[in-house]
Amino acid sequence: MTLPAQVAQQNDDPVTETLYQQVQHFYARQMQLLDEGQIAAWADTFTVDGVFAADAQPEPVAGRAAIRTAAQAARDALDAKAIRRRHWLGMVDVRPDGPDQVRVVSYALVLEIPRGGPATVHVHTTCDDVLVRRGGAWRVKHRQVRRDDLAGGAAR
């Protein structure tokens, strides 16, 4: 067998099926909250000590309160230009890391739609998350976003 271990095991893990749906649903809700401007509710999908890191930013944003503040500022700037952003997060690869923690590597397609159009692709990124379950709900403990148009990343 030359197939990678994680692929070979994917049908043997009884946890994966339930987990996969929970993660997909979590991301759908999370992105809708952000895109609909419900920034406080979106920030609450991070843990209190959650970290949001992006290779396009000078340094990681640490803590839910700081994440909320940064997202609100980004939102206000878009609103001032009458531009909507839509985040599609997909191609979700879930890697269980204990009963209440998973690592999830996914793609994010970010679209921008100015009032009057047209809709365009803004950027494409990867999203590398550590999710933890707290009180029955998944939250982001650590997020690393990498833009595909920047020079870094494992593949370059």
Give yes or no for residue 111 binding its own copies (CB under 8 A).
Answer: yes
Distance of alpha carbon 125 from alpha carbon 33, whole angstroms: 19
Of 62 and 107, nearer to its own copies (C-beta) is: 107
Task: Say which DSSP state 99 is in.
Answer: T
Give yes or no for residue 69 binding its own copies (CB under 8 A).
Answer: no
User: What b-and-e string marks burial along 25-35, b requiring 16 or more CB atoms within 10 Å of the CB?
Assistant: ebbeebbebbb
Of 58 and 117, nearer to its own copies (C-beta) is: 117
Of 15, 65, 74, 91, which lies in the binding site for its own copies, with binding defined by CB under 8 A?
91
Closest separation in Å from C-beta 151 to its own copies: 6
Of 63, 72, 84, 144, which lies in the binding site for its own copies, with binding defined by CB under 8 A?
84
Give yes or no for residue 18 binding its own copies (CB under 8 A).
Answer: yes
**Binding-site residue total for its own copies (CB under 8 A)?**
74
Work out whether strand 61-62 and strand 101-114 pair parallel, antiparallel, or are unpaired.
Answer: unpaired
Residues 118-147 that bind its own copies (CB under 8 A): 118-124, 133, 135-139
DSSP β-bridge partners for residue 93: 105
Q: Is-contact 28 20, C-beta < 8 A?
A: no
Tell me the two tokens of residue 93: 């690869």
Residues in the chain: 156
Closest separation in Å from C-beta 59 to its own copies: 22
Give yes or no for residue 100 binding its own copies (CB under 8 A).
Answer: no
